[in-house]
Amino acid sequence: MSTTTLKMIALCAMFIDHIGQFFPETPEWFNWIGRIS
């Protein structure tokens, strides 16, 4: 994998984590994905 691909994966994971923090009704795994990145 190139560094650009890794950055895009991290960006998507962080975005999912922020969605999980902003909306209280989201599943817990939204936060897990963001914490891994």
Contact 2, 22 (CB under 8 A): no
Q: What pLDDT score does 5 carry?
A: 95
pTM: 0.72
**Residue pLDDT tens, the chain, 37 long:** 899 999 999 999 999 888 888 888 888 888 888 787 6
Q: What pLDDT score does 4 carry?
A: 95
Contact 16, 33 (CB under 8 A): yes
Q: What pLDDT score does 32 carry?
A: 85
Contact 17, 35 (CB under 8 A): yes
Contact 20, 34 (CB under 8 A): yes
Q: What pLDDT score does 33 carry?
A: 84
